[in-house]
Amino acid sequence: MSTTPAGATSSRSLFKNIFRSSGLYSIPYLAQPVIAVLMLRVVTAHLSRSDYSVAEILSRAGDLLALLLGGCFGASIGYFYFEKDTAEERRPVIGTSVLGSTFFGALIMLACWLLSGPITRAAFGHESNESHVFYLRVMALGGAPAMALAAMLGWSRVANRPRVTVIGALARALLGAATVLVLAVFFRLNILGYISSGVVANAIPAVVLAVVCWRATRPTFDPRLFVRMVKFSTPVGIGGLAMYCINFGDRLILPRYATLDAIGPYALAYRIGMLCVLPYVSFSDYWNAQMYDVMKRDDADTLFARLLTYAMGAIVLPCLALTVFARPAIRLLAHRNFADAAAFIPIIAFAYGIRSLGEFFRSRFFIAGRPGFDAICNWVGAALCIAGYFYWIPRLGTWGAAIATLAAFAAILAIALVWTYRIRPYRVEGRRLAKMATALGVVLAAFAALPVGSLAGQIAFGALLLAGFPGLLWVLGFATPEERQALRAAVGSVMARNAPVR
């Protein structure tokens, strides 16, 4: 293992950089749920339960086609970017990633147009009609812009330009919401306005970032590098297909065992439950781009153990928040037709919390240059999940889909823990993780034991439980002396800035 190069940052400086960059990355990710919350009542008021199901199923069908046609090509940029040392050597990596991603995006768009009939028939079965074909073709127009934008955001992350990443991602979220308001609400295009928002939200930021990327790097295209990147990203795509089966395969199976009206609340709960990953994704945006460089350090094992503890905190807290606020949130923010969505949110949130933890460990496959191991790990989980879908969905409907998803992510995590340890042993902060698990267990037990009926009571009790989690961590002595000192310094700094001037 290579040692930390001379002049490398200290571990403390590295953590500061991670928190600063993750904090910036969190802006668009935290803005997304705020925008989604503000738009939720608008969307559910202008889309019926069936329309919401149609939009969800079409999106998932498009995602599947993207995975089959090179949709993960941009995932290779980090490995090849840090393979080089100078800006001149990295120019072909950037250009090949962006142009290659755009090519695959155009291929996806063309395939959606040419195969729209078979795709919609496969997705909707006997309920397929010509409107579904039209909606899929409209949605497909965003294929090339979406892939190009993803590649340029990937460049901004590996180049450690968090402000560029934040502006691009935030612009995409705001443009999507604005388009929904204009087309779905003002022009009353309903589902057509809703699915058109993705095209606008990706196209405009893609053009702007293309100009920024060109001016900053003058990227070039390298055909040989393109082939190498395709070879690297192919296992990622294969693993992505497995993860797709777990994430969205239920949406393609459920229409055969449940009505679109029944799937709508489940699809809404799924979108809300998946919000638990946003704090972790803010960190993973930094980690997935910089992990190749960080893990070259001689203190990499210590850093990994500490980062795992912080990642767990970023995973557990939002899962807990979604659980305790699920019922009042749905009552306040969604149309009453979607009230039964609240029951699904906790199980989906914790399923995706487990998925995030598995992703953190599976990043070690990529660091070791073995993306194929990640694909195998994912496909074992996908096989278990598909079997679970066909066993549980006919018996329990949407609840069966949720249970199968949770079981699959748990299996992937277990495999990743063992397999990555065999590739290269790692350390964990066992006592601190045990204290976090204890605090979480106490709060969830209190939530389950004391149900509250009124809306005000649910909000107050949820706030109390959420505040109790960090309080229990403090009582259990979770924080290290250095963390306590840093926290006191931060609090003192805030108090000093807000103190009245005499």
What pLDDT does 7 receive? 40
What pLDDT does 120 receive? 87
> Rounded to whole angstroms, how far apart are CA atoms 201 and 184?
15
Give the tokens for residue 354.
């487990």
Over the chain, what is the mean pLDDT? 84
Which DSSP state fits 298?
T
**Mean pLDDT of the region 391-412:** 91
What pLDDT does 73 receive? 86
pLDDT band at 6 (very low <50, low <70, confident <90, very high): very low
Q: Residue 194: pLDDT above 90?
A: no
Alpha-helical segments (H) within 274-370: 278-294, 300-333, 345-367
Cα–Cα distance list, 253 to 15, 60, 61, 111, 351 (Å): 44, 12, 12, 22, 19
Residues contacting 234, CB < 8 A, separation 6+: none
What pLDDT does 420 receive? 92
Share of the chain above pLDDT 70, in %: 91
| DSSP run (H or E) holding 265 | helix 260-273
* pLDDT tens digit sequence for 153-176: 888 888 888 888 888 888 888 888
Cα–Cα distance list, 11 to 4, 16, 22, 312 (Å): 11, 9, 16, 19
**Mean pLDDT of the region 263-278:** 84
Residues contacting 417, CB < 8 A, separation 6+: 361
* pLDDT tens digit sequence for 460-469: 999 999 999 9
Q: Cβ atoms within 10 A of the Cβ of 201, count?
A: 24
- Among residues 274, 317, 24, the alpha carbon closest in space to that of 156 is found at 24
Give the tokens for residue 137.
């073709």
Residues contacting 349, CB < 8 A, separation 6+: 273, 274, 275, 276, 318, 319, 322, 323
* pLDDT tens digit sequence for 444-485: 999 999 888 888 999 999 999 999 999 999 999 898 888 787
Which DSSP state fits 182?
I
What pLDDT does 490 receive? 64
**Mean pLDDT of the region 68-97:** 85
Q: Residue 51: pLDDT above 90?
A: no
| pTM score, whole prediction | 0.68
Give CA torsion, residues 134, 138, 143, 145, to 10 deg.
170
* pLDDT tens digit sequence for 210-224: 999 898 889 999 999
**Mean pLDDT of the region 390-410:** 91
